Each structure stands twice: as structure tokens, then as C-alpha cells.
């Protein structure tokens, strides 16, 4: 699919689980969001097939206005125009929000590549904006604020609009996952009333990489699910079970959705957390990956979804413990994590 061709909507009835995907499947959320009878069940059935085979899909007619996305990208580009010294004033710290300099991460948790070189991207992490007296913020819960808002005119408003649009969409997608996992449609709802939600707002510069170096190295997300608006500049690639790296082709009205490791664990491995990477682009690339995570004390127990008599593949864990452990292992101790030996730029 290209930006100028009509998308071919995925239908599980036309493929076999053993088939190799040649492109990331596309789903239309329009009938579901319009409340059409049977649309939720049909969409959930396609999501089930995808999450058991490739773990990534693209959605159209998702309800987020393109202007909301474009305005947020515009604001993000303004931030990355700042000098290194200015950006360092918003440094990522123990609150797990703020600016992360290039070469601050090595995804040692990757199961598909021995990542040894620091990633080339720089990032501004912003969490779902909450008031300072919110219990999460007041109690110092990581990834919940307070945000370090850059002193740039017109920056905060479009970013907050984008955040809340993603939160609204995430809450509409979660019931589909409940149906896809053979649970009542409201099974997950209580866990997302006050989610941990944060956006990895990244700049991927056009830099020649060293061997085994990436914009962001092969990894699986930590999240329950991830939401990403596509951009014209290519770079994101998804690893299939057959060992092929599929590009995420641009469609101006589409979002990429994927399952992270937390849902993979909770579903006892049924829904896969596919590895993906970003190769260094030919020109500057910007990305706003939003991690839609459950409330901090949510306990992912694989027994919730295991078949009778099926062995449990993972130990239960909370959302908060999982995300903190993931970041601490993959991020430099000089950039808000606990990984030693990673020397970020402008450390």
C-alpha cells in the first residue's frame, strides 16, 4: 500500500495462520466506532488473528483528526530545533519524563538481536498530562508527571490534545482486546480508568550508523499496547515469524497499533509482542509512540487467560514493576535508567 492507493482491509477468512505477511494488515475501525451491530465482534476476531500471528496492524477511521496529529508533530519539531544545551535543561530523570539525549539506550532485553551499540535517536518523554495534585503525581509514580514542558510558545496545547485523543482511542480499543481474548467486553475497562500513558516523542537524525547500530535497535515494546501515527519518512520495520522485516508504509490517515510484552505476559503468550526496529533514515524522521498501559497496580496474571490445564509461562507481575524494570535495564544510568556503561551524547 502507498499513500495514494486505497487500502486493502484485512480479513482473516482470506488467509491462513501459516501464511507469511507481505505487509502490515489494515483494519477499519469505522463500523465499530459507529456502533454497527456485530462490528465489535468482527473487529475483535481480526485482531485476535493478527495478535496471534504478526502482532502489528494499521487502523483507519480511528477517530483522531489528522490536524491533531499534524499539530503535535509540528510542535515536536520545534522542540528538536533547540540547542543541545537547551534540550538538556529538560533532562529525563527519576520521574521518567523529560529529554533523553542520543546514544542513551541499548535494548539489552531484545530476544532477536544482540544489541551492543547505542541507539541514535533523541527523545522527549511526555506523560498523560495530569494536575500536580493528582495522586499519581503527588506520590511520585514514575511516568505520570509532572511533565517538563519546554518553554516554547504553542507547544503544550497541541501535545496535550494529541495525548487525550490517544487516551480516548486506547480506551475504545481495550474492549476489543477483551473480546479477542474471549472475555466480556468490559473485562479490561477498570484497569484503564487511570492508566499509565506516556509518549516517546523521538527524532531520528539522518546519520550513518556503525555496524549493528540503529535509530532504535530491535526490541519489543513493554506496553499493553502502543499507538503510533505514520509519517512519510520511512524507518519502522516489523519482524515476522518467518524472519522478514516488513516496512510500515505511510498512509496519512492511519495509525500503527501493536501489542507489548505486558499483554503478551498477561495473555500467557497468546498475543505476541513482535520485535521491531527503526533503521536510520535518509532525512530527519519524527515519531510519537504512545504507550497505553494499565493502572500501576494492575496485576497481569497469565492464569486469567490460560486454557484449562495449560502451563503458565510467566509469573504474575504488576504494570508498574514491569515498565520500571524494562526502562531501568535498557536506559543509561545517566538518562533515567540503571544501565551502566552507556555514554549518552551530552551526558
Q: Which residues contact 273 (CB under 8 A, 6 or more apart)?
A: 55, 220, 221, 258, 259, 260, 261, 263, 264
Taking all residues of the chain, what is their mean pLDDT, rounded to a whole number? 93
- Work out the number of other CB atoms within 10 angstroms of the CB of residue 79: 21
CA dist 294 and 101 (Å) reads 27
Q: Would the pLDDT of 296 be above 70?
A: yes
What are the beta bridge partners of residue 51? none
Question: 189 by DSSP, 3-state: which?
Answer: helix
pLDDT tens figures, 5-63? 678 999 999 999 989 899 999 999 999 999 999 999 999 999 999 999 999 999 999 99
What is the secondary structure of 198-218 as a DSSP string? EEEEEEE---PPPTT--SEEE
Higher pLDDT, 328 or 165: 165
Residue 29 has φ and ψ, to the nearest 5°, of -85, -5
The residue ranges of every structural domain in the chain are 15-330
CA dist 227 and 258 (Å) reads 7
What is the secondary structure of 49-101 as a DSSP string? HHHTTT-EEEEES-S--HHHHHHHHHHHHHHHTS-HHHHHTTB--TTS-EEE-
Residue 174: which of 189, 194, 162 has the closest Cα? 189
Residue pointed to by grid coordinates 544501565: 339
Q: What is the pLDDT of residue 111?
A: 87
Positive or negative torsion for Cα 226, 230, 234, 238 = positive
Confidence of residue 345 (pLDDT cuts 50, 70, 90): low
Q: Would the pLDDT of 1 be above 50?
A: no
CATH class for the region spanning 15-330? mainly beta
CA angle 242, 245, 249 (to 5 degrees): 130
Percentage of residues in the chain having pLDDT higher than 90: 83
Q: What is the pLDDT of residue 342?
A: 57
Amino acid at each position: 500500500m502507498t499513500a495514494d492507493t486505497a487500502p486493502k482491509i484485512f480479513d482473516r477468512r482470506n488467509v491462513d495462520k501459516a501464511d507469511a505477511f507481505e505487509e502490515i494488515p489494515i483494519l477499519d475501525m469505522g463500523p465499530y466506532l459507529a456502533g454497527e451491530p456485530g462490528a465489535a465482534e468482527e473487529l475483535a476476531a481480526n485482531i485476535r488473528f493478527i495478535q496471534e500471528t504478526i502482532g502489528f496492524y494499521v487502523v483507519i477511521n480511528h477517530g483522531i483528526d489528522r490536524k491533531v496529529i499534524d499539530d503535535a508533530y509540528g510542535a515536536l519539531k520545534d522542540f528538536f530545533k533547540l540547542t543541545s544545551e537547551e534540550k538538556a535543561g529538560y533532562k529525563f530523570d527519576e520521574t521518567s519524563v523529560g529529554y533523553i539525549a542520543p546514544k542513551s539506550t541499548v535494548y539489552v532485553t531484545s530476544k532477536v538481536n544482540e544489541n551492543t551499540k547505542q541507539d541514535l535517536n533523541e527523545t522527549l518523554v511526555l506523560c498523560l498530562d495530569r494536575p500536580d495534585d493528582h495522586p499519581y503525581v503527588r506520590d511520585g509514580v514514575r511516568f505520570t508527571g509532572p511533565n517538563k514542558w519546554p518553554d516554547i510558545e504553542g507547544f503544550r496545547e497541541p501535545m496535550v490534545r494529541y495525548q487525550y485523543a490517544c487516551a480516548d482511542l486506547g480506551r475504545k480499543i481495550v474492549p476489543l482486546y477483551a473480546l479477542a481474548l474471549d472475555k466480556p467486553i468490559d473485562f479490561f475497562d477498570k484497569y484503564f480508568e487511570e492508566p499509565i500513558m506516556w509518549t516517546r516523542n523521538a527524532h531520528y537524525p539522518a546519520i550513518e550508523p556503525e555496524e549493528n547500530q540503529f535509530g532504535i535497535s530491535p526490541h519489543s515494546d513493554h506496553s499493553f499496547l502502543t499507538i503510533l501515527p505514520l509519517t512519510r519518512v520511512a524507518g519502522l520495520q516489523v519482524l515476522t515469524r518467518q524472519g522478514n522485516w516488513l516496512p510500515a508504509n505511510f498512509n496519512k490517515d492511519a495509525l500503527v497499533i501493536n501489542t507489548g510484552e505486558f499483554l503478551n505476559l498477561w495473555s500467557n503468550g497468546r498475543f505476541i509482542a513482535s520485535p521491531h526496529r527503526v533503521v536510520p533514515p535518509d532525512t530527519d524522521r519524527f515519531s510519537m509512540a504512545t504507550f497505553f498501559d494499565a493502572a500501576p497496580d494492575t496485576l497481569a496474571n497469565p492464569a486469567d487467560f490460560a486454557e484449562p490445564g495449560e502451563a503458565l509461562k510467566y509469573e504474575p507481575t504488576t504494570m508498574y514493576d514491569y515498565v520500571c524494570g524494562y526502562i531501568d535495564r535498557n536506559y543509561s544510568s545517566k538518562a533515567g535508567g540503571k544501565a551502566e556503561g552507556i555514554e549518552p551524547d551530552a551526558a
